[in-house]
A and B are shown apart, each in its own frame.
Chain A
Protein backbone atom coordinates (compact mmCIF):
# COMPACT_ATOMS: atom_id res chain seq x y z
CA UNK A 1 0.00 0.00 0.00
CA UNK A 2 1.09 3.54 -0.66
CA UNK A 3 2.23 5.74 2.23
CA UNK A 4 3.48 9.26 2.90
CA UNK A 5 5.94 10.54 5.47
CA UNK A 6 6.18 14.22 6.25
CA UNK A 7 9.33 15.09 8.13
CA UNK A 8 8.70 17.63 10.85
CA UNK A 9 5.27 18.10 12.36
CA UNK A 10 6.08 21.78 12.95
CA UNK A 11 8.23 24.15 10.89
CA UNK A 12 8.94 27.74 11.85
CA UNK A 13 10.38 30.35 9.46
CA UNK A 14 10.79 34.10 9.48
CA UNK A 15 8.75 36.23 7.12
CA UNK A 16 10.66 36.49 3.84
CA UNK A 17 12.68 33.33 4.44
CA UNK A 18 12.65 30.16 2.36
CA UNK A 19 9.92 27.63 3.12
CA UNK A 20 10.84 23.95 2.77
CA UNK A 21 8.36 21.26 3.75
CA UNK A 22 9.52 17.69 3.27
CA UNK A 23 7.53 14.78 1.90
CA UNK A 24 8.66 11.25 1.10
CA UNK A 25 6.34 8.66 -0.36
CA UNK A 26 6.18 4.95 -0.91
CA UNK A 27 4.42 3.69 -4.00
CA UNK A 28 4.54 0.47 -5.96
CA UNK A 29 3.40 2.22 -9.13
CA UNK A 30 4.21 5.60 -10.70
CA UNK A 31 2.58 7.97 -8.26
CA UNK A 32 0.36 10.95 -8.57
CA UNK A 33 1.40 13.40 -5.83
CA UNK A 34 -0.42 16.32 -4.29
CA UNK A 35 0.12 19.09 -1.76
CA UNK A 36 -2.87 20.54 0.08
CA UNK A 37 -3.12 23.40 2.57
CA UNK A 38 -5.60 23.58 5.43
CA UNK A 39 -6.46 26.71 7.39
CA UNK A 40 -8.07 26.34 10.84
CA UNK A 41 -11.58 24.90 10.75
CA UNK A 42 -11.59 24.71 6.97
CA UNK A 43 -11.34 22.02 4.35
CA UNK A 44 -8.28 21.30 2.25
CA UNK A 45 -7.24 23.46 -0.69
CA UNK A 46 -5.08 22.06 -3.46
CA UNK A 47 -1.73 23.82 -3.86
CA UNK A 48 -0.28 21.73 -6.67
CA UNK A 49 -0.10 18.27 -8.14
CA UNK A 50 2.28 16.04 -10.08
CA UNK A 51 0.90 13.46 -12.48
CA UNK A 52 3.30 13.04 -15.39
CA UNK A 53 5.72 15.17 -17.37
CA UNK A 54 7.78 17.99 -15.91
CA UNK A 55 9.09 17.10 -12.48
CA UNK A 56 9.10 20.70 -11.20
CA UNK A 57 5.52 21.68 -10.55
CA UNK A 58 4.33 25.20 -9.85
CA UNK A 59 1.24 25.85 -7.80
CA UNK A 60 -0.76 28.66 -6.33
CA UNK A 61 0.52 31.36 -3.98
CA UNK A 62 4.12 30.99 -5.19
CA UNK A 63 4.59 27.40 -4.05
CA UNK A 64 6.37 24.76 -6.09
CA UNK A 65 7.44 21.15 -5.62
CA UNK A 66 9.89 18.85 -7.33
CA UNK A 67 9.25 15.17 -7.95
CA UNK A 68 12.45 13.16 -7.44
CA UNK A 69 11.87 9.52 -8.26
CA UNK A 70 15.32 8.39 -7.13
CA UNK A 71 14.74 9.92 -3.69
CA UNK A 72 11.00 9.13 -3.57
CA UNK A 73 10.50 12.74 -2.52
CA UNK A 74 8.12 15.57 -3.34
CA UNK A 75 9.26 18.49 -1.19
CA UNK A 76 7.31 21.75 -1.16
CA UNK A 77 9.13 25.08 -1.37
CA UNK A 78 8.43 28.78 -1.51
CA UNK A 79 11.23 31.31 -1.90
CA UNK A 80 9.82 33.91 0.49
CA UNK A 81 7.37 33.19 3.29
CA UNK A 82 4.43 35.45 3.95
CA UNK A 83 2.42 35.70 7.15
CA UNK A 84 -0.61 34.38 5.28
CA UNK A 85 1.24 31.12 4.58
CA UNK A 86 0.81 30.05 8.21
CA UNK A 87 -1.33 26.92 7.99
CA UNK A 88 -1.11 23.13 7.98
CA UNK A 89 0.21 21.45 4.87
CA UNK A 90 -0.51 17.90 3.75
CA UNK A 91 1.28 15.80 1.18
CA UNK A 92 -0.75 13.03 -0.46
CA UNK A 93 -0.15 10.15 -2.87
CA UNK A 94 -2.70 8.41 -5.04
CA UNK A 95 -3.57 4.82 -4.11
CA UNK A 96 -5.82 3.35 -6.78
CA UNK A 97 -9.03 5.31 -6.26
CA UNK A 98 -8.20 7.38 -3.21
CA UNK A 99 -5.60 9.66 -1.66
CA UNK A 100 -3.30 8.65 1.17
CA UNK A 101 -2.23 11.63 3.25
CA UNK A 102 0.74 12.32 5.45
CA UNK A 103 0.25 13.47 9.04
CA UNK A 104 0.74 17.10 8.07
CA UNK A 105 3.22 19.88 8.83
CA UNK A 106 2.17 23.03 10.65
CA UNK A 107 3.98 26.05 9.24
CA UNK A 108 4.52 29.00 11.52
CA UNK A 109 5.70 32.32 10.06
CA UNK A 110 7.40 34.75 12.42
CA UNK A 111 7.34 38.49 11.82
Chain B
Protein backbone atom coordinates (compact mmCIF):
# COMPACT_ATOMS: atom_id res chain seq x y z
CA UNK B 1 0.00 0.00 0.00
CA UNK B 2 1.62 3.21 -1.17
CA UNK B 3 -0.92 5.64 0.24
CA UNK B 4 -3.02 8.21 -1.58
CA UNK B 5 -1.51 9.47 -4.81
CA UNK B 6 -2.40 12.52 -6.88
CA UNK B 7 -1.47 13.53 -10.37
CA UNK B 8 -0.20 15.97 -11.45
CA UNK B 9 1.60 17.52 -8.49
CA UNK B 10 1.72 20.91 -10.15
CA UNK B 11 -0.38 22.46 -12.90
CA UNK B 12 -0.01 25.89 -14.46
CA UNK B 13 -2.78 26.92 -16.80
CA UNK B 14 -4.11 30.03 -18.43
CA UNK B 15 -7.40 31.53 -17.39
CA UNK B 16 -10.27 30.00 -19.31
CA UNK B 17 -8.64 26.62 -19.86
CA UNK B 18 -9.99 23.34 -18.47
CA UNK B 19 -7.94 21.20 -16.09
CA UNK B 20 -8.39 17.71 -14.69
CA UNK B 21 -6.79 16.19 -11.64
CA UNK B 22 -6.62 12.55 -10.65
CA UNK B 23 -6.61 10.90 -7.24
CA UNK B 24 -5.89 7.26 -6.46
CA UNK B 25 -7.03 6.37 -2.94
CA UNK B 26 -5.81 3.62 -0.65
CA UNK B 27 -7.22 0.47 -2.19
CA UNK B 28 -9.50 -0.75 0.60
CA UNK B 29 -10.95 2.68 1.40
CA UNK B 30 -14.59 3.23 0.45
CA UNK B 31 -14.67 6.98 0.99
CA UNK B 32 -12.86 9.57 -1.08
CA UNK B 33 -12.80 13.30 -0.36
CA UNK B 34 -11.67 16.41 -2.21
CA UNK B 35 -10.55 19.52 -0.33
CA UNK B 36 -9.17 22.87 -1.45
CA UNK B 37 -6.50 24.74 0.46
CA UNK B 38 -5.52 28.33 -0.20
CA UNK B 39 -2.47 30.07 1.21
CA UNK B 40 -2.70 30.62 4.94
CA UNK B 41 -5.88 28.62 5.34
CA UNK B 42 -6.86 25.15 6.36
CA UNK B 43 -8.32 22.72 3.85
CA UNK B 44 -11.95 23.34 2.88
CA UNK B 45 -14.27 20.50 1.96
CA UNK B 46 -15.42 20.29 -1.65
CA UNK B 47 -17.07 16.91 -2.11
CA UNK B 48 -17.01 13.26 -1.09
CA UNK B 49 -17.78 9.85 -2.53
CA UNK B 50 -18.94 6.65 -0.91
CA UNK B 51 -17.75 4.08 -3.42
CA UNK B 52 -18.92 5.49 -6.78
CA UNK B 53 -21.73 7.65 -5.38
CA UNK B 54 -21.12 11.36 -4.87
CA UNK B 55 -23.02 11.98 -1.65
CA UNK B 56 -22.24 15.55 -0.69
CA UNK B 57 -21.05 18.70 -2.41
CA UNK B 58 -20.01 21.95 -0.81
CA UNK B 59 -21.42 25.27 -1.96
CA UNK B 60 -17.79 26.03 -2.83
CA UNK B 61 -18.15 23.59 -5.71
CA UNK B 62 -19.51 25.85 -8.43
CA UNK B 63 -21.01 24.62 -11.69
CA UNK B 64 -17.55 24.82 -13.25
CA UNK B 65 -16.36 22.01 -11.01
CA UNK B 66 -17.22 18.37 -11.53
CA UNK B 67 -15.95 15.26 -9.81
CA UNK B 68 -16.33 11.61 -10.67
CA UNK B 69 -15.34 8.29 -9.20
CA UNK B 70 -16.12 5.64 -11.77
CA UNK B 71 -16.29 2.11 -10.41
CA UNK B 72 -15.49 3.37 -6.95
CA UNK B 73 -11.76 3.41 -7.55
CA UNK B 74 -9.82 6.51 -8.64
CA UNK B 75 -11.44 9.92 -8.83
CA UNK B 76 -11.09 12.91 -11.11
CA UNK B 77 -11.78 16.55 -10.39
CA UNK B 78 -12.32 18.78 -13.42
CA UNK B 79 -12.42 22.55 -13.43
CA UNK B 80 -13.83 24.18 -16.52
CA UNK B 81 -13.07 27.75 -17.64
CA UNK B 82 -10.52 28.27 -14.88
CA UNK B 83 -10.35 31.59 -13.09
CA UNK B 84 -7.48 33.12 -11.12
CA UNK B 85 -9.46 32.51 -7.95
CA UNK B 86 -9.20 28.77 -8.58
CA UNK B 87 -5.47 28.89 -7.81
CA UNK B 88 -5.02 26.67 -4.78
CA UNK B 89 -3.80 23.30 -3.55
CA UNK B 90 -6.33 20.57 -4.27
CA UNK B 91 -6.08 17.75 -1.76
CA UNK B 92 -7.56 14.29 -2.01
CA UNK B 93 -8.11 12.05 0.99
CA UNK B 94 -9.54 8.60 1.56
CA UNK B 95 -10.86 6.72 4.54
CA UNK B 96 -12.71 3.64 5.60
CA UNK B 97 -16.44 3.65 5.89
CA UNK B 98 -17.07 5.93 8.88
CA UNK B 99 -16.31 9.53 9.80
CA UNK B 100 -14.54 8.34 12.93
CA UNK B 101 -11.91 6.72 10.79
CA UNK B 102 -8.98 8.93 9.95
CA UNK B 103 -8.65 10.44 6.51
CA UNK B 104 -5.37 9.83 4.73
CA UNK B 105 -4.28 12.67 2.50
CA UNK B 106 -2.41 12.67 -0.75
CA UNK B 107 0.41 15.14 -1.55
CA UNK B 108 -1.97 17.50 -3.35
CA UNK B 109 -2.08 19.15 -6.76
CA UNK B 110 -1.03 22.79 -6.78
CA UNK B 111 -2.94 24.74 -9.43
CA UNK B 112 -1.76 28.12 -10.65
CA UNK B 113 -4.04 30.02 -13.02
CA UNK B 114 -2.29 32.83 -14.88
Contacts and interface: CB of A to CB of B under 8 A. Distances in A.
Which bracket fits the contact residues of A? 20 to 34
Interface in A66-111: 90, 92, 94, 96-104
B42 A94 contact: no
Interface string B42-61: 11110010000001100000
A38 B70 CA distance: 29
A18 B22 CA distance: 40
Contacts of A103: 40-42
Nearest to A101: B42
B100 A32 contact: yes
Nearest to A46: B102
Of B42, B43, B105, B108, most A-chain CB atoms within 10 Å = B42
Contact of A34 (B4, B40, B102, B110): B102
A97 B107 contact: no
B107 A99 contact: no
Place the interface of chain B in its size category. Answer: 20 to 34
Interface string B80-111: 00000000000101000001101111111010
Contacts of A51: 100
Contacts of A90: 42-43
Contacts of B48: 97-98
A44 B104 CA distance: 8
Given A43-B106, A44-B105, A98 B56 contact: yes
A38 to B, nearest CB: 9
B56 A43 contact: no
Nearest to A102: B42
Interface string A23-51: 00000000010101000011111100101
A42 B108 CA distance: 7
Given A43-B4, A104-B40, 11 more contacts: A34-B102, A41-B110, A43-B106, A46-B102, A46-B104, A90-B43, A92-B42, A94-B100, A97-B31, A97-B99, A98-B48
Interface of A: 4, 9, 32, 34, 36, 41-46, 49, 51, 90, 92, 94, 96-104
